[in-house]
C-alpha cells in the first residue's frame, strides 16, 4: 500500500475505532468480532515493532479499559518495560533463479537474519548426502561463505534424524545463509542478530528448484524497544485485596518488510475474551466478594517478557491472587478447549468440567500438564494457582500471514465465555483463609 493511501486509511480506521463503541448492545460474539477486526487490522500492523503497531494496540486497550471503568494500580493502566528486538522496517526482496518469491506465502525471513544483499549460489544438502558419511565429509570441505545452503529433510520421519536436521539450522556450514525447506511457515521473533541469513521456505514453492538467490534485506536492531502491559481491576465488596485475574497478551509478531502478521487468533481473540469478561464484571460488580483484575501483556511473542516483568514487579502481592486464567487463542473451539495446569490444580479442573457438562457447552475440556508456552507460566512458577486455556479445532493458521480476522470463526466464543464466568463466579463465592 502506498504511503498516502495508508495515511488516509489510518485516519479512517481511527474514526471507525472511535465510532464503534465495542460495548454497545451487540451480543458477546458480535462484539468480539469487532474487537478482533480492529486489533488484527492493517492499521495495527500486527501489534509489533514497525509503524507503532504495538503502541496503537496499547492505546486502543487504554481507551477500552477507561470506558469500562477499570481502576488502575497507581496513576495509569500502563506498566512500562523494554527489551531488545530485531526488526525489518523496510520492504525486502528475494528472487529465486531470477523470479520474485512471495514473502509470507513462499517463504519467511527468520528474524535473526542480518542485513544481507547480493546474489549467491544455492547448494542443496539433502538425505542423499546425510545418509552417506563420505558425502557429508566431502560437503564440508567446501567454502560456503558466498552461498546459501538449502536444507531439505524430505523423507525424514524418525525423531533422532529430525534432531540432526534441526541442528543444521545453526549453520555448521558457515554459509552466507540457510534456506530451510518446510511444510508450514511459522514466524517468530528475535532479540539478537546472527551473522548469517535464515529463510524458511515451503517445500512446494519455487525454492525447491533454487540454484541461485538474489536477496536484499535490511535489519534494524532496536536495543531497547519501549512497550507496556496494561492492567486494571474492578473492586470487590468484601475482600478487595484478594484477586481473581484474567490475562491475555495483545502483542504479536508485527510487520516485517512488506508483510504483516495479523494475529487474529493469536491473540486478538484472547483480548476480545478479556474485554468481554471485563465488561461482564463491570456490569456485575455488586456481587463481587474479591476484586477482579484484567492484565493485557506485551512481549509474549518474544519469550513471555511482559508477564515475566509483571511477576518481577507486581503492584500487589502475587500471593493475593486466588486464581488466574490466561487466555491465548480463543478463536475456534470446534474440538473444545485444552486446560494447561489442569493436572496440577485438579480440584479446579474438576469444577470446570462439571460446569461444562451440566451446561452442555464444549465438546471436550482436555487436561494438560505444565507448559512454558504462554503468560501463565511465570505466575505458576511463583506459586499462583492458574490455568492457561486455549481453544482447539478449526482453522490451522498460526504465526503466519493467514491468521486473519476475515477467517476467524469464534466458533465457541460464547460457550467459553459462559464457562469462564461460571467458573470464576463460583470462586468468587468461596471464602479463602
Nearer to Zn ion, 104 or 331 (CB): 331
CB of 266 to Zn ion, least distance (A): 4
- For residues 211 and 105, is the Cβ–Cβ distance under 8 A? no
41 vs 267 by CB, closer to Zn ion: 267
Considering the complex, state which of residue 144 and residue 390 has its C-beta at the smaller distance from Zn ion.
390
Closest to Zn ion by CB, 297 or 423: 297
CB burial of 126-140 (b: ≥16 within 10 Å; e: otherwise) equals eeeebeeeeeeeebe
Which residues lie below 8 Å from residue 176, measured CB to CB, with a gap of 6+? 116, 120, 144, 145, 146, 147, 148, 196, 197
Binding site for Zn ion (CB under 5 A): 266-267, 328
Give me the least distance between CB of 42 and Zn ion, in Å please: 20
Beta carbon of residue 267, minimum distance to Zn ion (angstroms, whole number): 4
With left for phi above 0 and alpha for psi between -120 and 50, is residue 129 left, alpha or beta? alpha
Q: Which is nearer to Zn ion, 152 or 328 (CB)?
A: 328
Query: Which DSSP helix (H) or strand (E) runs through 358?
Result: helix 346-359
- C-alpha 271/C-alpha 229 separation (Å) is 13
Rounded Cα–Cα distance for residues 228 and 215 (Å): 35
How near is the Cβ of 308 to Zn ion at its closest, in Å?
Answer: 15
Q: Cα separation of 427 and 423, whole Å?
A: 7
* Closest separation in Å from C-beta 63 to Zn ion: 22
**Shortest separation between residue 249's beta carbon and Zn ion, angstroms:** 6
CB nearer to Zn ion: give 153 or 328.
Answer: 328
Angle between helices 3-19 and 28-39 (to 10 degrees): 150
Strands 259-261 and 337-340: unpaired
Q: Count the helices and strands in the chain (H runs, E runs).
A: 11, 19
Amino acid at each position: 500500500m502506498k504511503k498516502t493511501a495508508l495515511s488516509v486509511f489510518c485516519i479512517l480506521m481511527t474514526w471507525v475505532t472511535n465510532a464503534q463503541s465495542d460495548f454497545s448492545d451487540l451480543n458477546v460474539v458480535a462484539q468480539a468480532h469487532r474487537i478482533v477486526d480492529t486489533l488484527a487490522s492493517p492499521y495495527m500492523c500486527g501489534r509489533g515493532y514497525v509503524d507503532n503497531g504495538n503502541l496503537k494496540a496499547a492505546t486502543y486497550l487504554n481507551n477500552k479499559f477507561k470506558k469500562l471503568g477499570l481502576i488502575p494500580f497507581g496513576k495509569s493502566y500502563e506498566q512500562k518495560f523494554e527489551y531488545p528486538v530485531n526488526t525489518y522496517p523496510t520492504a525486502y526482496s528475494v528472487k529465486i533463479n531470477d523470479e520474485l518469491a512471495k514473502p509470507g506465502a513462499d517463504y519467511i525471513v527468520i528474524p535473526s537474519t542480518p542485513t544481507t544483499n547480493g546474489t549467491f549460489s544455492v547448494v542443496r544438502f539433502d538425505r542423499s548426502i546425510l545418509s552417506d558419511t563420505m558425502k557429508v565429509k566431502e560437503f564440508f570441505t567446501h567454502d560456503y561463505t558466498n552461498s546459501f545452503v538449502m536444507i531439505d529433510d524430505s523423507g525424514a520421519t524418525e525423531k533422532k534424524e529430525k534432531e540432526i536436521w534441526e541442528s543444521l539450522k545453526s549453520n555448521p556450514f558457515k554459509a552466507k545463509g540457510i534456506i530451510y525447506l518446510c511444510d508450514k511457515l511459522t514466524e517468530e521473533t528475535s532479540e539478537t542478530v546472527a551473522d548469517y541469513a535464515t529463510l524458511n521456505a515451503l517445500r512446494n514453492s519455487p525454492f525447491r528448484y533454487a540454484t541461485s538467490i538474489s536477496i536484499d534485506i535490511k535489519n534494524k536492531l532496536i536495543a531497547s524497544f519501549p512497550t507496556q502491559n496494561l492492567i486494571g481491576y474492578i473492586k470487590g465488596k468484601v475482600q478487595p485485596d484478594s484477586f481473581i485475574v484474567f490475562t491475555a497478551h495483545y502483542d504479536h509478531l508485527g510487520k516485517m518488510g512488506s508483510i504483516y502478521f495479523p494475529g487474529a487468533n493469536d491473540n486478538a481473540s484472547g483480548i476480545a475474551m478479556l474485554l468481554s469478561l471485563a465488561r461482564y464484571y463491570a456490569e456485575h460488580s455488586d456481587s463481587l466478594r474479591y476484586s477482579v483484575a484484567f492484565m493485557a501483556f506485551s512481549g509474549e511473542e518474544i519469550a513471555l517478557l511482559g508477564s515475566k516483568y509483571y511477576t518481577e514487579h507486581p503492584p500487589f502481592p502475587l500471593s493475593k491472587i486466588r486464581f488466574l486464567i490466561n487466555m491465548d487463542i480463543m478463536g475456534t473451539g470446534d474440538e473444545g478447549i485444552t486446560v494447561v495446569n489442569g493436572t496440577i490444580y485438579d480440584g479446579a479442573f474438576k469444577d470446570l468440567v462439571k460446569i461444562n457438562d451440566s451446561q452442555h457447552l464444549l465438546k471436550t475440556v482436555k487436561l494438560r500438564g505444565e507448559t512454558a508456552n504462554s503468560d501463565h507460566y511465570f505466575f505458576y512458577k511463583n506459586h499462583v494457582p492458574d490455568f492457561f486455556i486455549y481453544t482447539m479445532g478449526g482453522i490451522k493458521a498460526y504465526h503466519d500471514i493467514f491468521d486473519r480476522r476475515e477467517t476467524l470463526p469464534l466458533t465457541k466464543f460464547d460457550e467459553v465465555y459462559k464457562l469462564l464466568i461460571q467458573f470464576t463466579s463460583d470462586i468468587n463465592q468461596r471464602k479463602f483463609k
